[in-house]
Amino acid sequence: MQHTTTTCPYCGVGCSLSLAVDNDRIVSVSPGPEPSVNKGALCSKGRFGFDFVHHKDRLTTPLIRKDGVLVPASWDEALGLIASKFSEIASLYGADALGGFSSARCSNEENYLFQKLFRAGIGTNNVDHCARL
């Protein structure tokens, strides 16, 4: 069994985790080595919420809609489509027609960059998050 130290994906706190991995599958999670912000403790999400990693319905590639059907796409194709649609919407209806919703699974730094993209890059303050644990 291999043990890998990583950061918990559930919120921006940055708790340290130790993943026990067997045959490329996570079999258990425990607090990571100290010193860490979590000081040897984990919340229930961090300790038990890792089933999503191997879930059969987890997306592993971007999907875009073509002729009403979701089809796999490259990252460049998906990001290009998003950029063109954002530009189209902003030019037709103004920047406030767009908004962004960020994830609690992002770090504080990633959430900061996300809001900066929408406020400074796109020109809207329509930004929210789901970091209410």
pLDDT at 120: 96
Question: How many Å is the maximal CA-CA distance in the chain?
Answer: 56
pLDDT at 101: 93
Looking at 2.60.40.10, 2.20.25.90, 3.40.50.300, 3.10.310.40, the CATH number of the domain 2-54 comes to 2.20.25.90
Averaged pLDDT score across all residues of the chain: 90
Residue 132 has pLDDT above 70, yes or no: no
pLDDT tens-place string over residues 59-78: 999 999 999 999 999 999 99
Query: How far is 87 from 76, CA to CA, in rounded Å?
Result: 16
**Structure pTM?**
0.69
Boundaries of every domain in the chain: 2-54, 63-129
